[in-house]
Amino acid sequence: MEGEKGAGRIESRRVYTGKVISLDTDTVRFPDGSIGELEMIRHSGASAIVPFLSDPRGEDPQVLMIRQYRYAAEGYLYEIPAGRLNQGESPRDCAARELKEETGCTAEQFDHLLTMYTTPGFTDEKIHLFMATGLVAGETKHEADEFLDLHPMRLSRALEMVEAGGIQDAKTALGLLFAAGFRAGR
């Protein structure tokens, strides 16, 4: 992506390719014309879903949260369902697949909320946030490294957890706040 004064990537060298991420060392031209090197984590992107168990426009609707073990966080985090995009997969299809795999639910409707960069200081990862309504329960299909359980709760409770620091996952906090502030109750 080119910016002001010709800012952008001059050269990129792949340092590592893994299952989930790749690491590149990029030579870049900064907006002031200077040149430097940055380590960039490349990621295929992901979709995340704020699943509503009841009408989001109703009085204190219910959302379906998950509590998932995260090695990097050294424990369990409350999150919304999410997962990595497969090659060629649309963000909406990814959202439907991940909702089914992690919660067992299918949804009648997916509404795109926003697309966000997770940590643009060192990665190009984008997460596409959706709101899902009209949920129908089914069977989960967790991956071997997924350890999670389902936690239905009122939206007000989830927002209290965000405010109190009980929800520390950024995509979850933003997804809940966005859905509550711009979609639920309207």
Kindly state whether residues 34 and 124 are assigned to the same domain: no
Q: What is the CATH number of the domain that holds 91?
A: 3.90.79.10
Kindly state whether residues 33 and 54 are assigned to the same domain: no
Kindly state whether residues 38 and 66 are assigned to the same domain: no
Could you give the percent of the chain with pLDDT greater than 90?
Answer: 87
| Structural domain count of the chain | 2
Per the structure, the complete domain to which residue 14 belongs is given by 4-42
For the residues 90-104, what does the mean pLDDT come to? Answer: 97
With 80 as the cut, is the pLDDT of residue 137 above it?
A: yes
Kindly state whether residues 26 and 56 are assigned to the same domain: no
Please answer whether residues 80 and 116 qualify as being in contact, where contact means their C-beta atoms are separated by less than 8 angstroms: no
Kindly state whether residues 28 and 53 are assigned to the same domain: no
| Dist CA 71 CA 6 (whole Å) | 40
With 60 as the cut, is the pLDDT of residue 2 above it?
A: no
Of the candidates 89, 101, 125, 146, the residue annotated as catalytic is 146
For the residues 171-179, what does the mean pLDDT come to? Answer: 97
Task: Report the helix count and the strand count for the chain, using DSSP H and E.
Answer: 3, 10
Kindly state whether residues 51 and 18 are assigned to the same domain: no
**Tens digits of per-residue pLDDT, 37-50?**
999 999 999 999 99
Annotation says 108 is catalytic: no
**Tens digits of per-residue pLDDT, 100-126?**
999 999 999 999 999 999 999 999 999
Average pLDDT, the chain: 94
Confidence (pLDDT) at 5: 64
| Dist CA 22 CA 43 (whole Å) | 7
Confidence (pLDDT) at 4: 57
For the residues 68-72, what does the mean pLDDT come to? Answer: 95
**Tens digits of per-residue pLDDT, 11-39?**
999 999 999 999 999 999 999 999 999 99
Kindly state whether residues 68 and 129 are assigned to the same domain: yes
Kindly state whether residues 26 and 99 are assigned to the same domain: no
Task: Give, for 105, the enclosing helix (H) or strand (E).
Answer: none
With 50 as the cut, is the pLDDT of residue 1 above it?
A: no
Could you give the percent of the chain with pLDDT greater than 70?
Answer: 96
Confidence (pLDDT) at 6: 82
With 80 as the cut, is the pLDDT of residue 185 above it?
A: no
Model pTM greater than 0.85? Answer: yes
Structure letter (DSSP) for residue 123: B
Kindly state whether residues 28 and 51 are assigned to the same domain: no
Kindly state whether residues 132 and 159 are assigned to the same domain: yes
Kindly state whether residues 25 and 81 are assigned to the same domain: no
